[in-house]
Amino acid sequence: MNLIIDVGNTLSKVAVFQQDELIERFTVEKPDLSKKIEKIFSRHPDLDGVIISKVSQAEFSLPQNLQKKMPIINLDAGTRLPFENLYATPQTLGADRKALVAAAVKEYPGKSVLVIDAGTCITYDFKNEKDQYLGGAISPGLKMRFKALNSFTANLPLVEAREEAELIGDSTLTSIRSGVVKGILKEIDGVIEEYKEKYPELVTIITGGDAQFLSINLKNSIFANSNFLLEGLNHILEFNISR
């Protein structure tokens, strides 16, 4: 049984896996993270391993009393990965992107896979049929685009996404919503189409906070998986403790 800890600046995700099966999943605020982990340890004293992934600004380590004699993987530039990493600057590759590629390798071995993570930023990560990670792209996410229009102009308001984004906005609010939502959908569909031209058998996965909202409006066939990152972290942990 594995404990997966994904630490963000404000919110963190904690999950327990029994081999490949997700048993429990929690989203907790950072001040409550240590207490939540202590409760998980009390319920699952037979944990086999722990992996900790965190954004660069976040600081977290297991409480001293919980550091048992079991593998504890802090995902960093030196962690072994279950794929060949051909990124030109591997030391700069974020832990979240590593985890997403690991999940793609686990779920779709021998296939070309594009993973789209629709969060604060939209990341595109591609691995080929040889399970080699080639790289991808990073662009502003949905909320970031709305905030940018509000922050860098004098008169444009801050707008929230809605499923109904008309092509022709008939007010400032609906014009912003049309530009941002339609623009992001066209971007994603366009990126998928370019990959498909080169890799016709491409499998496309979308995950992240805005995945559900975006996936139902995309033209291309796409699989939404909200647990893809956690599954990838679990695979990296299994890969390391089995060697």
Percentage of the chain surpassing pLDDT 70?
96
Domain identity same for 46 and 159: no
Domain count for the chain: 2
Q: How many CB atoms lie within 10 A of CB 2?
A: 25
Domain identity same for 171 and 115: yes
Q: Which residue type occupies 14? A: V
Domain identity same for 101 and 43: no
Which bin fits 135, alpha (ψ -120 to 50), beta or left (φ > 0)?
left
Domain identity same for 21 and 116: no
Percentage of the chain surpassing pLDDT 90?
69
Domain identity same for 122 and 102: yes
Known binding-site residues for ATP equal 6-13, 120
Domain identity same for 175 and 67: no
Which of 74, 93, 121 represents a domain boundary (last residue)? 74
Domain identity same for 88 and 184: yes
> Mean pLDDT over all residues of the chain?
91
Judged against a pLDDT cut of 70, whether residue 222 lies above it is answered with: yes
- pTM, two decimals, is 0.91
140 Cβ contact list (under 8 Å, min separation 6):
121, 122, 148
Known binding-site residues equal 6-13, 87, 94-97, 117, 120, 172
Contact 182, 167 (CB under 8 A): yes
Domain identity same for 149 and 202: yes
The Cα–Cα gap between 191 and 220 comes to: 10
Q: Which residue type occupies 104? A: A
Could you tell me the two tokens for 130?
């040889």
Known binding-site residues for substrate equal 87, 94-97, 172
The predicted structure's pLDDT at residue 11: 85
Contact 209, 8 (CB under 8 A): no
Domain identity same for 113 and 206: yes
Could you tell me the two tokens for 52?
């900790």
The predicted structure's pLDDT at residue 57: 67
Q: What is the pLDDT of residues 108-158, one digit of tens each?
A: 999 999 999 999 999 999 999 999 999 999 999 999 999 999 999 999 999
Q: DSSP class of residue 128? A: -
Domain span holding position 167: 76-243
Q: What is the mean pLDDT of residues 73-100?
A: 95
**Spatial CA neighbour of 188 closest among 168, 208, 164:** 208
Judged against a pLDDT cut of 70, whether residue 56 lies above it is answered with: no
Residues catalogued as catalytic: 96
Which of 74, 91, 126 represents a domain boundary (last residue)? 74
DSSP assignment of 1-14: -EEEEEE-SSEEEE
75 Cβ contact list (under 8 Å, min separation 6):
51, 52, 53, 54, 95, 98, 99, 233, 236
Domain identity same for 164 and 123: yes
Domain identity same for 31 and 95: no
Domain identity same for 9 and 29: yes
Which of 16, 49, 74 represents a domain boundary (last residue)? 74
Residue 118 has φ and ψ, to the nearest 5°, of -100, 85
Which CATH number do you get for residue 179? 3.30.420.40
Q: What 3-state class would DSSP assign to 121? A: strand
